[in-house]
Amino acid sequence: MSPTRREITGFSNPTVKALRALREKRHRKAAGRFLAEGLRLLTDARECSYLPEVLVLSDRREPHPLLAALEEAVEADGGEIIETTPDILSKITGKDNPQAVAGVFAEFDTSLAALDRSSADIWLVAQALRDPGNLGTMLRTGDAIGAGGVILLDDCADPFSVEAVRASMGAVFTQRLAQARWEEFEPWLRSGAGQLVAASLRDAQPYRGAPYSAPCFVMVGNESRGLPEPYEMACDLRVTMPMKGRADSLNAAVAAAVLGYEVLASL
Amino acid sequence: MSPTRREITGFSNPTVKALRALREKRHRKAAGRFLAEGLRLLTDARECSYLPEVLVLSDRREPHPLLAALEEAVEADGGEIIETTPDILSKITGKDNPQAVAGVFAEFDTSLAALDRSSADIWLVAQALRDPGNLGTMLRTGDAIGAGGVILLDDCADPFSVEAVRASMGAVFTQRLAQARWEEFEPWLRSGAGQLVAASLRDAQPYRGAPYSAPCFVMVGNESRGLPEPYEMACDLRVTMPMKGRADSLNAAVAAAVLGYEVLASL
């Protein structure tokens, strides 16, 4: 076994404790690290040039060429490889039937300054999105519509939580992520080209055939409260989607997708 | 206090145990009852003529005219009203910060035979959908696009779980629900008018501008495996949505919504 490989079989091992702690936001922030699990997701990451610093493997794993490629890449990159039991992997990822592999990644730079808005025609913007599943789904939708990334405004769920990473189906590695307060975002947006669009009931036009223009920033609000009125009023375009039933709103990730696909078709 | 009202303060009270048991599918099926929580959701239910058989109220609730209307309707209907502590409500609904009110409803008839396909132009169909949040989100989307309801094929998550009911935002009361195996669904579908449509990569045409016709049955598949090939091949129309990134699929509830809105716009 090379010096970068080791085996862990004890639940109370300090490395297991440190890995497990990454399920909690404050520990993630302190460590600047997050967990991602599953061969498919880690392969997506590798193909996007993200390698885990630590690769955790089940000692019951089946051989797989993609897993071998992953191990090789991590070793070549100077990363650490840990073999452990399915029970301990389950404890680390918090999943009853854990995948055979998990990785620890360094968190990305999520400053607005690091975004190149000219790199894509569509960007998704979420304000105070609380559900990690919705956040991950927005990342996944962003990937599908060819968005540049997702900008998280105000107090959102953590995009580096195990749940958000899982729901993103790997898009956390293909989409750019930024986190900002509205007070930072608005001046940044207005410092360059960009059309801010939101689904709204206030002074809105039908979402189909609306005059979208690139780069188009498609914004959705909090699951319960929607967008604050000043945010809506700051938009360049407010659009409305048909609501044929009793409800007056869609799930936030659904609204972002329906609107995002409409923008994609019209740009 | 009228005979239909009582107060419960003990965690080990058998009624509390019976209500709490409704969080588990086998107990729901045995009782033929399910739980829904929150004043907004219960008000939606009441306005759709669904009243809970049992209404559970927090003894710390704030007065509210909609709550008074709900209590009155349940009493007039001969239902039972239980007052209890927030802790016990939390135990019943499994939520840390419980809503001030929850209700127990009789499960609906979910047979295909009870569906009137001519009552709506769009129906959503989900095959082996495993995530209750996705299922609830599809119900909510169905309400928004004016669908008649959601047909659940094969082994889906239980639409009467607390999580699905919560994610439906009340649409579990506005949408019709049916549950069937594919072997029952296909002959039922073909026994009347109906176009079966699925998002597919097999011999598919662009989803925008495709020749949708009413009643249109929009089908999505399992979160991991998608639709079985024979189900796709049985469709009258296979359509494809742009996938600009690495992923080759969307979240199931998102796919249903993007496709559903497209059908709505073109019928």
Phi and psi (nearest 5°) for A86?
-55, -35
pLDDT in tens, A12-30: 889 999 999 999 999 999 9
Contact B40, B70 (CB under 8 A): no
Q: Which of B237, B260, B108, B166 is nearest to A258 (CA)?
A: B260
Residue B251 to residue A174, Cβ atoms within 8 A: no
Cβ B231 vs Cβ B221: under 8 Å:
yes
At residue B246's C-alpha, the angle toward residues B240 and B252, to 5°, is: 50
d(CA A118, CA B58): 53
Residue A11 has a pLDDT of: 85
What are the DSSP calls for A10-49, one per residue? Answer: -TT-HHHHHHHHTTSHHHHHHHTEEEEESHHHHHHHHHTT
Give me the domains of chain B, ranges plus CATH numbers: 5-106 (3.30.1330.30), 112-266 (3.40.1280.10)
pLDDT at A203: 83
Q: What's the distance, CA B165 to chain centroid?
A: 6
| Geometric angle at alpha carbon B53, from B52 and B56, rounded to 5° | 70
Question: Residues 62..81 of B with a Cβ closer than 8 Å to A: which?
Answer: none
User: In a 3-state reduction of DSSP, which class is residue B225?
Assistant: coil
CB-based contact A242 B261, cutoff 8 Å: yes
The number of beta carbons lying within 10 Å of the beta carbon of residue B242 is 14
Residues from chain A that touch B265, judged by Cβ atoms under 8 A, are 208
- What one-letter code names the amino acid at A139? L
Q: What percent of chain A has pLDDT over 90?
A: 88
Q: Distance between CA atoms of A133 and A126, rounded to whole angstroms?
A: 13
Alpha helix (H) ranges present in A117-267?
Answer: 132-144, 162-167, 171-174, 182-190, 229-233, 252-266
Contact: A174, B261; criterion CB under 8 Å: no
Largest CA distance in chain A: 66
Handedness of CA A6, A9, A13, A17 (dihedral sign): positive
pLDDT of res. B100:
87
Q: Which of A39, A131, A241, A254 would best serve as a mutation to test chain B binding (most B beta carbons within 10 A)? A: A254
3-state SS, residue B233: helix
Give the orientation angle of helix B252-266 with respect to helix A252-266, to 10 degrees.
Answer: 50
The answer to whether the bond into B215 is cis (omega within 30° of 0) is yes
> What does the pLDDT read at residue A177?
97
Total CB pairs under 8 A between chain A and B: 113
Partner-chain contact A144 B265, CB within 8 Å: no
Do residue A146 and residue B244 have CB atoms under 8 angstroms apart?
Answer: yes
- Alpha-carbon span A43 to A104, nearest angstrom: 13
Neighbours of A206 (CB within 10 A): 11
Does residue B150 sit at the A interface (CB-CB below 8 Å)?
A: no
> What count of Cα atoms within 13 Å lies in the side-chain half-sphere of residue B7?
5
> What span, in angstroms and rounded, lies between the C-alpha atoms of B31 and B22?
8
From the list A146, A250, A257, the residue facing B144 with the nearest CB is A250
| A251–B140 C-beta distance less than 8 A | yes
Q: What is the pLDDT of residue B98?
A: 74
B71 close to B59: Cβ distance less than 8 angstroms = no
Q: Is the pLDDT of residue A2 over 70?
A: no
Q: What is the pLDDT of residues A166-219, one digit of tens each?
A: 999 999 999 999 999 999 999 999 999 999 999 988 889 999 999 999 999 999
Rounded to the nearest integer, the mean pLDDT of chain A is 94
- What is the value of ipTM here, to two decimals? 0.92
Provide, as residue numbers in chain A, all residues whose Cβ is less than 8 Å from the Cβ of B140. 247, 250-251, 254
B63 CA: distance to closest CA in chain A (Å): 21
- Quick one: pLDDT at residue A3? 58
State how far Cα A240 lies from the chain centre: 26
Helix (H) or strand (E) holding A69: helix A65-76
DSSP-derived 3-state class of residue B96: coil
CB contact under 8 A, A245 and B133: no
Interface check A168 vs B, CB under 8 A: no
Q: How far is CA B176 from CA A100, B5, B80, B194, in A?
A: 40, 32, 26, 17
A102 touches A92 (CB < 8 A): yes
Instruction: Please report the beta strands in chain B, taking only residues with DSSP state E, as ranges in sequence order.
Output: 5-8, 33-37, 54-58, 80-84, 101-106, 122-127, 149-153, 176-180, 195-199, 205-206, 216-220, 237-240
B215 vs B118: CA distance, rounded Å: 7
Q: Min CA distance, B40 vs chain A (Å)?
A: 11
Alpha helices in A77-131 (DSSP H): 86-93
Phi-psi region of A235 (alpha: psi -120 to 50; beta: other; left: phi over 0): beta
Contact between chains at B145 and A257 (C-beta distance less than 8 A): no
A243 interface with B at CB cutoff 8 Å: yes
Residue A248, pLDDT above cutoff 90:
no
Mark which residues 21-60 of A lie under 8 Å from B by CB.
Answer: 44, 47-48
Do B64 and B99 form a contact (C-beta atoms < 8 A)?
A: no
Which tens digit of pLDDT belongs to each residue from A70-112?
Answer: 999 999 999 999 999 999 999 898 887 778 899 999 999 999 9
B192-209: pLDDT as tens digits: 999 999 998 888 999 999
CA distance B81 to chain A (A): 27
Average pLDDT for runs of 10 along chain B of length 267: 78 90 94 94 94 95 94 95 93 83 95 96 98 96 97 97 93 96 98 96 92 98 94 97 91 97 97
Residue of chain A whose alpha carbon sits nearest to that of B266: A208
Q: Which residues of A touch B208 (CB under 8 A)?
A: 265
Q: For residue A220, give the nearest of A159, A147, A165, A138 by alpha carbon.
A: A138
Instruction: Return d(Cα A232, Cα A237) in angstroms, integer.
Output: 9
Name the residue in chain A with its Cα closest to that of B250: A141
